[in-house]
Structure 1
């Protein structure tokens, strides 16, 4: 039976998530700002939870209908067969988001959804589920636009970027699915040398090593769909066995990381060792301004320090041009991808980006800047009076 699902993701990653879901046999794929809608059976849902590196969650659409009032939303929610989906002994949490919603109080609407679920259980089973806002068994997600009310059951539970691999982290960690999305946007594939010269706790390296070893990102965790009454344990077991059989031996890959600070590198080593991926990645303590490329060509990806993290704008004003010089002089033939929330970086690094991709690390708006590094200047010869041309794209 075909079901409707929605996979939210960090803004800016919708295109690569859509491509990933296509590889996972999803159908009717429709990207929209902040996620991708798709259709499939429950096996598709299980597989998306197990194997998607970019989705934040997989939400099962259980109703979509027009509304005019809070009473409509209560009635639509109460009409659903909640008792057929899970037991009242499980705790719940209701989340609600809205765009151009005409109703006055989203908090009140959230309360009405919760009341409708609890009232339906009390009427059909004589018992209502408890509310747990910290770690609920089941999450109910509502979305309101100007005319339509859509309700989802979260099949993931904890967010999918919580892989359970990263044991320690630095001051400004990347979410794991954002790191995986950056690698996808960069077009990186195993076998291509990859370097993160400011690796921090190693999130980009962890994601790359998992990709190289074909490790399903959800293979070490549990999911909310396992608590649903319609859960097919046999199908799920086969999917996990198939994913495990595809894994490759955890041997050296052309994945390299370095950091100026020994404490950050210690975090990266610990995380890689805890994930049993230490053999796949070469780490060393080094200043990014003094390193040499580990291969003639490859992809450099990094999340360099910026003002919100270390708070020293003057220091960064000196550092960014030096970083640009290192990339231009030593990494000819490479492509570099820098994620930054600092508008000063693209202005002071003195390189012309070929792409500027808006991304979000949580609520923090960033840009992923791509630099195609060639010997000498990247700018074409032009007359003194001609306006400067850049290859920047995707700037909103």
Structure 2
């Protein structure tokens, strides 16, 4: 059993814990931006293959106190690195810190690399080479004010890189955040789903993968394949079982994507087509302010512009009331989810969220608004009508 740590977008930790439990992890403990747990190689394989929420999964090798740079070097020097990977593997060291008193993370990175190479020299008179672009082995160090934890990365490229998206637009949404929003919304394959501002199609790609029952890691390679202890036969059996469980959807699509931008439409079309997922999606160019709903009521998910993509705040202030009006006029019976970092959106749209869930899109703090479009309910109160409570919603 290994001590493991999985990272994810802030706000999705509870969902990540569910993924780790499904992969067979034990002693699961939620912390900010991640989940600590224990698990063996099978848990490592299953998490990387199946988790839609994780960013990466790391194996803890060492934990210790430090006061100066040399303490971290000695900590790394005590690890039996040749036990974990061969000297022929290329390496890279990554260091992150919170409240560390040490002045140079670059120097810490260098000293950890020196420790790894010194251990290999002692063991086999050779040292591994460094590759800063595509290393075989990624070593992570995490520093707090007093503690240093050293990890081996089992993932490699982040798990949100599913291997299918090449065309992007401004402010693209990471795949694992999109998957988390779909799960928070309670969406399941077979339920009508509309993204009316689909951009490069991230929500649609994530949903279509689930419609096809495609494991998110089924089309890519992982860092654990370069580590000693890796069981290639067990991994191949697991991948084969996942591929055999895939299915082809039948009937009319229940996923709908729209975008007013021709370039966004083309990007979504190219990404869905490249992934082989286009048959699951009804994709068209269209403006949410003008187009009619494409189907009977279902779920709407959307990452609308919130100042990162529109430079003029005046444009947003004009857009929000029009969006609210379009929703009230055309989308009765729908449940709508909007991810936004713009605090002006709630007031501007003129609709009462039933939930406001804090999430982070990278370093950007956002809210996921849930708005239930009940006919005749979501209207603005007139001046003096009530106490204004309709403009408030509790943080969840």
Change (3 A) 1:394 1:133: farther
Q: Secondary structure at the match of 1:142?
A: strand
Aligned ranges 1:232-251 → 2 under 5 Å: 232-251=231-250
Q: Is 2:328–2:378's contact at 8 Å kept on the other side of the alignment?
A: no
After superposition, residues 1-396 of structure 1 pair within 5 angstroms as: 2-251=1-250, 252-378=252-378, 386=387, 388-390=389-391, 392-394=393-395
Aligned counterparts of 1:394 and 1:64: Cα–Cα separation in 2: 36
CA distance in 1, matches of 2:98, 2:177: 24
* SS of the residue 1:309 aligns to: coil
Distance across 2 between alignment mates of 1:390 and 1:313: 21
Offset of residue 379 of structure 1: 7.5
Q: Report the Cα offset of residue 115 of structure 1.
A: 1.2
CA drift at 1:316: 1.7
Relative to structure 2, which stretch is displaced further, 221-230 or 106-115?
Answer: 106-115
Q: Classify the secondary structure of the residue corresponding to 1:180.
A: helix
Q: What does the per-residue CA deviation read over 1:340-362, in whole Å, with 9 as the maximum and x for residues that have no partner? A: 22222122111111222222222
- Structure 2 unmatched ranges of 5 or more: none
**Mean Cα displacement is larger for which, 53-62 or 24-33?**
24-33
For 1:102-121, what per-residue CA distance to the aligned partner results, in whole angstroms no more than 9, with x for missing partners?
A: 33433322222111111111
Whether the aligned pair in 1 keeps the contact of 2:179 and 2:203 (CA below 8 Å) is yes
> SS in structure 1 opposite 2:83?
helix
CA deviation map 1:8-35 (0-9, x unaligned) = 1111111111122222222222111111
Where 2:270 maps in the other structure, the secondary structure is helix
Would the aligned equivalents of 2:53 and 2:180 in 1 still touch at CA under 8 Å?
yes
What is the TM-score with the length of structure 2 in the denominator? 0.94
Q: Distance in 1 between matches of 2:390 and 2:306?
A: 26
The 8 Å contact of residues 9 and 55 in structure 1, kept in 2 or not, is answered as: yes
Q: CA deviation at 1:380?
A: 11
In structure 2, C-alpha distance between the alignment counterparts of 1:327 and 1:110, rounded to whole Å = 52
Q: Distance in 2 between matches of 1:65 and 1:302?
A: 44
CA contact (8 A) 2:197 2:302 kept: yes
Shift of 1:187: 1.1
Task: Give RMSD over aligned pairs.
Answer: 1.9
Alpha-carbon shift at residue 69 of structure 1 (Å): 2.9
After superposition, the C-alpha distances for 1:13-64 in whole angstroms (9 at most, x for unaligned) are 1111112222222222211111111211101101101111111111111112
Say if 1:358 and 1:368, in contact at 8 Å, map to a contact too. Answer: yes
- Whether the aligned pair in 2 keeps the contact of 1:357 and 1:393 (CA below 8 Å) is no
Residues 64 and 149, structure 2, Cα contact 8 Å, conserved in 1 = yes
- For residues 348 and 186 of structure 1, what CA distance do their matches in structure 2 show? 22
Tell me, yes or no, if the aligned pair for 2:352 and 2:390 is still in contact at 8 Å.
no
Per-residue CA deviation, residues 287-312 of structure 1 (Å, 9 max, x unaligned), is 11122223332110011123221212
Retained in 1: the 8 A contact 2:20–2:47? Answer: yes
TM-score (structure 1 length as normaliser): 0.94
